[in-house]
Amino acid sequence: MTEPGNVLDLAPLGVRVEILRTAAQTDGELLEADVVGRARGFLAQSHVHVGQVERLEVVEGALELRVAGRVHRLGPGEAMEVPAGTPHRQRPGGEGPGRVRIQVRPARRTEEFLRRLAQMSAEGDFLPGGWPRPLAGATLVLDFADEGHAARPRLRVQTALAGGLLRAASREYLFVDEWDVAAPPEATFAALADARTYPEWWRPVYLDVDAEGPPALGKVSRQHFKGRFPYHLRTRSRIVQLEPPRVVAAEVDGDLRGHGIWTLTPIPDGTHVRFDWRVHADRPLLRLLTPLLRPAFRWNHNWAIARAVEGLEPYARRSSAAAGRDTAARA
């Protein structure tokens, strides 16, 4: 009798899968399962197992198996093997639900793949007719292409399309900006680490920053800023790394959510600045528009960084000069 945990409900695909023997039980030699029902949609398309031999045996009902363009009709007690790398398609034949016992050798990640299909079924990731929703399908392609894939189009095309779709739909942005500042690392670091200074030099981007005291590990500040687009953003930052005058990093939430890190490197006559900014757009309007306006958001970021490049150096130079005068006055 099949254990309850090994019965997978793939109702949107027209079947349930009863796992009989797993990779763990056979030292990876094979996975054996009964597929019960009438497969449709995603499961009935022509596909390829990259490095596995599949054996199909009809226990009840009938099966129409097309292998490399040739159709085979199997009844109860009949079986057939499909060599690795061979395009094939199996569809129910006759009437009734049918039961087909499959063996896949070696097992590899077949059980993981079947459990992913069950998870997708439970979470509503299949459309009527048994086809995956676009983003769930794209993720499935990228996660299991090395196990098996649709016979057409070519795998390279499938993975390129899947990757492009996920990138277009992602609300995550990754920006890396670098430039040189003709000011000492200490003064440059002080400006970047203390967000309270941003409205002074990072204009007109930063409108207001609220923080209690100078920067310290765990310190929280709140920012109000804007870009070229006609909306304002509000965020909260918490310093998670502070290594003067070299590194300062913060976790950010609010209208934007992510992680930013400033890395400073001394160079002749100044400081090399690098800003790594990984961010998700969480404001409802930004979430809605991200897939359509990703290039515009990147342009908006570039405009804001250009304002930082313009303002940071003169501010850091003034701060350094003022610190020098104070030191001289105290001497």
pLDDT in tens, 100-140: 999 999 999 999 999 999 999 999 999 999 999 988 898 89
Residue 96: pLDDT band (50, 70, 90) is confident
Q: What is the C-alpha R_g of the chain?
A: 29
Question: pLDDT tens digits, residue range 207-255?
Answer: 999 998 899 999 999 999 998 877 788 999 999 999 999 999 999 998 8
The token duo for 251 is: 């976790």
Please enumerate in sequence order all residues whose Cβ is within 8 A of that of 114, keeping only pairs 6 or more positions apart, or say none.
Answer: 8, 17, 19, 33
What average pLDDT does the chain have?
90
CB atoms within 10 A of CB 34: 19
- pLDDT of res. 228: 85
Question: Which sign does the torsion angle of CA 32, 38, 42, 48 carry?
Answer: positive
Cβ 236 vs Cβ 180: under 8 Å: no
Cβ 84 vs Cβ 51: under 8 Å: yes
Residue 174: pLDDT band (50, 70, 90) is confident
**Does 166 score more than 80 pLDDT?**
no
Please enumerate in sequence order all residues whose Cβ is within 8 A of that of 55, keeping only pairs 6 or more positions apart, or say none.
Answer: 79, 80, 81, 82, 102, 103, 104, 105
- Report d(CA 208, CA 312) in Å as an integer: 17
- pLDDT of res. 331: 63
- pLDDT of res. 291: 56
Pairing of strands 148-150, 256-267: unpaired
Cβ 96 vs Cβ 103: under 8 Å: no
Q: Which helix (H) or strand (E) holds 227?
A: none
**Does 151 score more than 70 pLDDT?**
yes
Question: pLDDT tens digits, residue range 67-85?
Answer: 988 999 999 999 999 999 9
Q: Whole-structure pTM over 0.75, yes or no?
A: no
**Does 57 score more than 90 pLDDT?**
yes
Which residue ranges form the domains of the chain, and what is each CATH number?
4-169 (2.60.120.10), 172-330 (3.30.530.20)
Greater confidence (229 vs 312) lies with: 312
Q: Which of 215, 264, 220 is nearest to 238 (CA)?
A: 220
Cβ 273 vs Cβ 286: under 8 Å: no
Q: What percent of the chain is predicted at pLDDT more than 90?
A: 72
Please enumerate in sequence order all residues whose Cβ is within 8 A of that of 128, keeping only pairs 6 or more positions apart, or say none.
Answer: none
Greater confidence (141 vs 298) lies with: 141
- pLDDT of res. 307: 96
Residue appearing with tokens 């006609």: 230
**Does 292 score more than 60 pLDDT?**
no
Greater confidence (20 vs 294) lies with: 20
